Amino acid sequence: MKNVTAIFGSPEDRTALAPFNWLRTSRYAAVAWLAVRVWIGIMWIQAGWAKIFGAENAAFLHNNGAGVAGFASHGVAAYSWWGSFLHSFVVPNAGWIAVMVAFGELAIGLGLAFGFLTRTAAVASLLLLFTYVMSGTASVCAFYALCAIIVLATWRTSSWIGVDGLIAGWRERRRGATPVPVASVVEESPRELVNA
C-alpha cells in the first residue's frame, strides 16, 4: 500500500477545486439545491399519489397489481437476465410489489420534498429508477437520476433547509456546540468534511 501511496499520493490529502467546494457548502448554493430537491420530491409525490389515490389506483392497489404485471411482462428488458427476473419473480408477485412501488414513490417524494432522511430518499430514488430503466422505460428517468445524484453529492447543503437541517441544528444545540456557519466549512480540510 505504501508503494501505491508513494506513486499516487494519499486520497485524504486531495482537495477539490474551490468552485466545487463552494457548490457543496455555500448557503447560497443551498437554495439552488433546495429547489432541485423539492422539485424532484414533488415529481415523486405526484407519481405515488396517482398510484394510491388517483387514476392509477386500480392498476396498483387493486386487481392484483395489474399495472406492475403488465409493465413487467410487456416491457423490453435491457438484459435477458433482467427479463427472466421480471417474468419469474415480478409478474407472479405483482400484487405486493405494486403496493411497495406506490407507497415507495410517495415516501421517496415526501422525504425529498421535506428534506427528511434526504440521502436515504435519494438512494431509494436511484434504485427505483434503476429498475425502471432496466425494465425498458427511459422517459424522465435519466433527468430524475441526475437530480438524485446532485442531492447526494451536495447532501450537506441540499438538506440544510429541511427536516434534516433542523435535526442537525437541534443536535448541535443539545451538545452545547456553537453552530458552524455553512460558508466557513469551505476553509476546513476535506478530511474534516468527511469526518463531520
Question: What's the whole-model pTM score?
Answer: 0.74
Give the C-alpha separation, 149 to 182, whole Å: 21
> pLDDT per residue over 88-117, tens digit each?
898 888 889 888 989 999 999 999 999 899
**For the chain, what are the domain ranges?**
28-195
For residue 42, name the pLDDT band (cuts at 50, 70, 90).
Answer: very high
User: What is the residue-wise DSSP string for 4-40?
Assistant: HHHHH--GGG----HHHHHHHH-HHHHHHHHHHHHHH
State percent of the chain over pLDDT 70. Answer: 82
